[in-house]
Chains A and B, each alone.
Chain A
Amino acid sequence: MPLKKTGPLGLWLAIGWVGFVLIPWYAQSRGLFDPGWLLAWDRQSTAPGLQQALLHGRLWLLPLVLPLAAPSLLLGRRQDTPAAANLLIVCGALGTLYCLGQGFLITHRGWGFEVLEAWFGPLGVRQFGIGGGASLTLLAFLMLFAQGIAAKGAVNGDRFVVGSITLIVVLVAAFIFFPVGRILTGALQGPDGGLAPMLFVERFLDNRIWGLGCLTGGPRCGVAWNTLTLALATGAGTTLLGLAFALVVTRTAFPAKRALRALTILPIITPPFVVSLAIILLFGRSGTVTQFFAELMGIDGGRWIYGFWGVWLAQVLSFTPIAFLVMIGVVEGVSPSLEEASQTLRASRWQTFTTVSLPLMRPGLANAFLLGFIESMADFGNPLVLGGNFQVLSTEIFFAIVGAQHDPGRAAMLAIVLLAFTLMAFWAQQQWLGRKQYTGVSGKGDAGMPTPLPTPLEWTAYAITVPWAVFTAVMYSMILFGGFVEIWGRDHSFTLRHYQDAFGVTQGAFGLVWSGTAWNSFTTTLWIAFVSAIPTALIGLLTAWLLTRQQFGGKAAFEFGTMLSFAIPGTVIGVAYIIAFNVPPIEITGTGIILILAFVFRNMPVGVRAGIATLAQLDKSLDEASLTHRATTLQTVRLILMPLMKPAMLAALVYSFVSAMTAISAVIFLVSARYELATTYILNRVEAGAFGIAIAYSSVLIVVMLVVIAIFQLVIGERRLGRRGAAAPSGFAGAGR
């Protein structure tokens, strides 16, 4: 589509000037809604950029006037000439680079680098982290740059597309690559901050990471081996269970199929420790089941559950739903006519299953295994509660940071090892299955009936599935029940005390007093989960649209970059964020926005995947019809595609929300006094032994999540197609909690 002669140049210039001259340049401690900042140019904390430069001695901000003013020469003139394009590119690029550069070079301690201090002498004035004003100006510069590139003819001169790509690239670079890069350099740093490459080697070859002593009966094994073994075991366990469940639900005449489906989905919306806690209450040293068997058979179980097996059990319980969701799609997609063909050739049911059905399910099995593997690697809550002395990488990283030894270099090293493992698994997953759609659903009707399973297999499946389902059901009833008893295991009298302690509301002198201890974290978590779900879905879907509908250079790299955060475990992101964002230019630790950003960029890939899956089903002729009617790209996206992408939107929103509500590994580093989250609060209660309140709180969270998901479904609504029903996007996955 040819470039229009004029574009929204005026708009972006206006935004840039507003950011520079009206809105406080630096981050506000009172928030922008406190009107004190308006025209309060005399206060150096609230003055906008220009006033900072003129009135408060921050002269380094003055040069920004040039790139902001120069493009106004183009207002009212043609913007598609090469000269105009060059001007825009130069102004945009210079503006962005200078804006960011001065943020790094001058920090809250004066010069950001000692070299500069040596050259120029100490700086009298400091500066803080970027705030609203600086963000707007930066955005404006970026968009000017994008306009320039579009004017040069990139992507057919489509300004909206170029702008979107630029924005997403910058966001991903700033909030994924930058922090992770800082971690990598952190591993190379010595304790004083200087570069120490030898230390990197020393840290890497640490026996605590790679020791193989346990195989020879000596000291414990290195933590990397522990993590790997656990991940392999969990992958195997979840895949097996997922397959068994999928077979039972689709291929047998099991009576309670819907209940089974609901049961398997429940662990997804469960806060992370609930499962571990329930396991302790059942199988712990004084657990119900342990005591039962102790009385029956005189065996003292002791603390058998703490350690590898306990964590494995908790992880399999928690991650089977994901394997199940993958396997269901796979098992249903095996074409029945192929199986029928096999049977007409006189193969027995067993032969049919092993030679026809199972090979067709292999990609799904591999996918499920890898997902379980990645989730286990990234898991933090279960090993912390049930691990005993069994250490895994995520808990080691945690102790390296928060323990008294406080060794961020070591934490960075461990993070790199963990990241390497998950990236390898992620890469393997992409290689094997990434681009393939392995549904067997094609345009031709496949009206065959799925072959019933061979009987021994059917009974094996029942034998695996039914006890597991019963176990899960028992656990969840215990969780519900546990919130209402005084002390589980000792005093089973009914009480509402735990709910009152957590969510009590009393009548104070001036109205209602929220006296429960859980209200603070509860409201914060809900608010943050909501606020982060929306940008996650929007950015994810926008990226999906760019990937499926647009052609541009570097698309493969772009795709890789956006999906990368999938593979990064939560602890790594948490550590990366506190290392990268504790000092200016982006100074956001201890705030709510760091939590929101962590959630948005971790969960974005799900929106991308869901969007890609949905868009692949929408014919491009719809877009073309819209464009022929001279709608702009933005209008096409907004009016044609968005309404058709409701399932993807819903999937992205629901996943982001649930993930934010149940996240623990990243946020344990990011919570602060002002922003406490439900999961960290529950963890503290579990560690303090206050199981009653932990369970009560978790039950409330589960109910709330169910309600919110229902609300999302109501608000987004169903999309109304002429003929086919909406196919739910597959690939429900995430890189751990």
Chain B
Amino acid sequence: MSQRTSRLVLLASAAIVTAGSAIDAEADELVLYCSPQEEWCQQVVTLFESETGISVAMTRKSSGETYAQIKAEADNPRGDVWWGGTGDPHLVAAEEGLTEPYESPMLDELHDWAIDQYEASDGATVGIYAGALGFGYNTELVAEKGLEAPACWADLIKPEFKGEVQMANPNSSGTAYTALATFVQLMGEEEGFEYLKALHANVNQYTRSGSAPITAAARGETMIGIVFQHDAVTQKVAGFPIEVVSPCEGTGYEIGSMSLIKGARNPENARTFYDFVLRADIQSMAREVGAYQVPSNRDAEAPPESPDFDSINLIDYDFKTFGSSDVRARLLERWDNEVGSLPN
């Protein structure tokens, strides 16, 4: 074997070895699936990393997408913990055995609604924040068109708002599914779907992510966006001409949740993270990154701009029912068939 060939062989082996090493290079000490806004995800990751030294690999995907990913990976889980995102997909995941129960020492510091979420899922998920559903509208566009500002759900189906409303697609967004469930509970299932069909006539686009409608409204690409009120507050505080509306008939709310993924590769670190984000001081810092949800730790400071739960007309949202996988699948399928496929 000539010298040249042997060098080639060495090179080739080195290449193969390197290739082999690229298979799962470096240990991820914690793999986090994060569903709230990107800035908040980044903040929590940075805080956690600097305090514990555990390096975090984070993906930001909306709650519906994260649920789908966890389900797809169920055979061979890659994530460790799912933080944030509206509670219904978490409850479905718990029911399907994709997540693992854990009794955190922080539980007794939480609000009742957060503990209810914990009990509804037999310990597989816990509430980390709450948000009221509602909508926001662009004040400049409304003034331009000389319209009366909408204040109720019924206003949104008025003909003058044709092509002016935006909402997320309930298949990919937890926000939109909460809206769907809210209408069903507020008006009854048949009337709820009638409402959605009427609303469809005014909707210009069903977005992929739950907060996209209000960012579009903020930039004037649409007039009204149906989102959680805290998302609308974020835009308003950032200086956009947005007004936040808590609909007069009453509205639903979400309990943003967190779950440990079953079969995680770093279960210890996942539990450390779980306890970490339930702390009052960590939850109080959410405001710095423009997250205006109501935190679940009783001692955490709720931002003053957050919607005041006491003054909002909230319905008695049945998380257990609407978080179950068959009710969810049935409602989504019905939406796809009766609303999603209608002409624009």
Contacts and interface: CB of A to CB of B under 8 A. Distances in A.
B22 A593 contact: yes
Contacts of B212: 687-689
A398 B140 CA distance: 35
B343 A219 contact: yes
Contacts of B171: 399, 403-405
Contact-residue bracket for chain B: 35 or more
Contacts of A324: none
Contacts of B192: none
Contact of A674 (B28, B33, B207, B211): B28
A684 B19 CA distance: 30
B65 A402 contact: yes
A590 B26 CA distance: 12
25 contacts: A8-B5, A27-B23, A30-B25, A129-B23, A132-B20, A208-B341, A286-B219, A302-B163, A402-B65, A402-B172, A404-B171, A404-B177, A404-B332, A405-B329, A405-B332, A406-B68, A517-B38, A531-B22, A583-B75, A590-B24, A592-B22, A672-B57, A672-B59, A673-B58, A688-B215
B72 A673 contact: no
B208 A303 contact: no
Given A11-B1, A306-B205, A402-B68, A674 B20 contact: no
A673 B172 contact: no
Given A404-B89, A404-B177, A688-B37, A303 B31 contact: no
Interface string B32-47: 1100011000100000
B17 A23 contact: yes
Interface string A134-168: 01100100000000000000000000000000000
B256 interface: no
A384 B208 contact: yes
B297 interface: no
B236 interface: no
B172 A404 contact: yes
Given A388-B204, A672-B59, A592 B25 contact: yes
B23 A588 contact: yes
A405 B171 CA distance: 6
B22 A489 contact: no
B143 interface: no
Contacts of B27: 29-30
Given A132-B20, A388-B205, A404-B68, A219 B219 contact: no
B269 interface: no
Interface in B219-267: 219-222, 240, 265
Contact of A31 (B21, B61, B332): B21
A261 B9 CA distance: 44
Nearest to A508: B50
A8 B1 contact: yes
Interface in B313-335: 328-329, 332-333
A303 B221 CA distance: 7
A180 B33 CA distance: 28
Residue with the greatest number of chain B CB neighbours at <10 A, chosen from A11, A27, A285, A302: A285
A567 B327 CA distance: 41
A681 to B, nearest CB: 9
Nearest to B333: A405
B72 A578 contact: yes
B1 A673 contact: no
Contacts of B89: 404
A229 interface: no
A303 B204 contact: yes
Given A389-B344, A689-B216, A406 B58 contact: no
A733 B208 CA distance: 31
A302 to B, nearest CB: 7
A159 B48 CA distance: 56
Contact of B215 (A32, A399, A689): A689
B153 interface: no
A284 interface: yes
B38 A220 contact: no
A591 B24 contact: yes
A25 to B, nearest CB: 10
Contacts of A133: 20
A244 interface: no
Nearest to A408: B72
Given A31-B24, A32-B21, A135-B16, A582 B344 contact: no
B22 A582 contact: no
Nearest to B89: A404
Interface in A364-395: 384, 388-389
B72 A403 contact: no
Given A286-B220, A303-B222, A402-B172, A31 B25 contact: yes
Contact of B341 (A10, A219, A582, A596): A219
A252 B47 CA distance: 62
A684 B20 contact: no
B69 interface: yes
Contact of B20 (A23, A109, A214): A23
A592 B20 CA distance: 11
A275 to B, nearest CB: 17
Interface string A278-294: 00100011100000000
Contact of B73 (A32, A208, A582, A689): A582
Given A306-B204, A582-B75, 20 more contacts: A27-B24, A28-B23, A33-B25, A139-B16, A220-B341, A306-B205, A384-B208, A389-B204, A389-B344, A401-B72, A402-B69, A404-B68, A404-B171, A408-B72, A583-B76, A674-B57, A687-B212, A688-B209, A688-B215, A689-B216
Contacts of B68: 401-404, 406
A301 B18 CA distance: 56
Contacts of B271: none
A8 B12 CA distance: 14
Contacts of A591: 22-25
Q: Which 3 pairs between the two chains have the least Cβ-Cβ distance?
A: A132-B20, A689-B215, A286-B220
Contacts of B75: 109, 582-583
B86 to A, nearest CB: 11
A691 to B, nearest CB: 8
Interface string B190-224: 00000000000000111111011001101111100
A684 B38 contact: yes
B170 interface: yes
Interface string B92-136: 000000000000000000000000000000000000000000000
Interface string A28-41: 11111100000000
A458 interface: no
B344 A220 contact: yes
A15 interface: yes
A109 B74 CA distance: 12
A596 B221 CA distance: 38
A339 interface: no
Contacts of A672: 57, 59, 78
B79 interface: yes
A210 to B, nearest CB: 13
B183 interface: no
A4 interface: no
A435 B130 CA distance: 64
A735 to B, nearest CB: 24
A189 to B, nearest CB: 14
B29 to A, nearest CB: 11
Contacts of B18: 32
Contacts of B204: 303, 306, 388-389
Contacts of B76: 108, 582-583, 587
A338 B97 CA distance: 75
A676 interface: yes
A589 interface: yes
Interface string A576-606: 0010001100011111110010000000000
B287 interface: no
A83 B265 CA distance: 50
B343 A593 contact: no
B64 interface: yes
A27 B265 CA distance: 15
